[in-house]
Every structure is written in C-alpha cells, then in structure tokens.
Structure 1
Amino acid sequence: MYVYRKLRDGDNWLYTVGFFDPEGQWHPESDHLDPEIAATRVAWLNGSRSTSQEAQP
C-alpha cells in the first residue's frame, strides 16, 4: 500500500509518496510540495482511478 510521508527539506516540507516493504524498508516513488497532490497520487497508486490526471508524478 502506498502512503506519503511529510519530511523536512531545508526550510520547506516535502511530501514523499512511496511504500514500506515487508522488512520495513522505505521505497520512495515521487516527491511533492503540496500534500493534496501527494494524497491524490497515493489514491491513484492504490487503485482509485476516479482522480484526475494530476495523479501522475
């Protein structure tokens, strides 16, 4: 399952989309400055195809 993480990038926040494998290792897929775009991407990757093309990285 894909999720997004809020990470500090200098003075800004970065929302990184990715997933944890069974061993707990993080696998990033894309980075976003806007949490709504990150959430849309997560929904799309998890199977929700009702979102717009903005779900593309």
Structure 2
Amino acid sequence: MYVYIESERARDSEGFSSVNYTVGFYDPSGKWRPESDCGSPEEAAGRVAWLNGKPD
C-alpha cells in the first residue's frame, strides 16, 4: 500500500518555508521505498489514491 510522508521542510533566507511530500511504501522489511515527490499534501494524496487503485 502506498502512503505519503512529509519528507523535507526548508526555509529560505527570506523566511519562506517549503514542504516536500514523498509518496512511497514500506517494503516487508520496513525499509522506505520512495516512488515520487509532490509539492502539496493534496497532490500527494491524489497520487497515493491512484497508485492504490482508486477509480477516478
């Protein structure tokens, strides 16, 4: 089953914060296997739904 995690949070010199969300899955041994990166939780959730077979 694919899930997404907040994988990176960065702040630039002007104080702007950006967040990266990585879509992937945990293999049977518990190792994280990334599939793609997204710029918003909504985008990541849509990708997860599609990868998990949710119909449109």
Q: How does 1:6-45 map to 2 (within 5 A)?
A: 6-11=6-11, 12-45=18-51
Aligned length: 50
Higher strand share: 2
Q: Which runs of 5+ in 2 are unaligned?
A: 12-17
Distance in 2, Cα, partners of 1:41 & 1:6: 14
Question: Which one has more relative contact order, counting CA pairs under 8 Å at least 6 apart?
Answer: 2
TM norm structure 1: 0.80
- Residue identity over aligned pairs, in percent, reads 56
Gapped runs of 5+ residues in structure 1? 51-57
TM-score, with normalisation over the residues of structure 2?
0.81
For the pair shown, the structure with the greater C-alpha radius of gyration is 2
Measured on the aligned residues, the alpha-carbon RMSD in Å equals 1.0
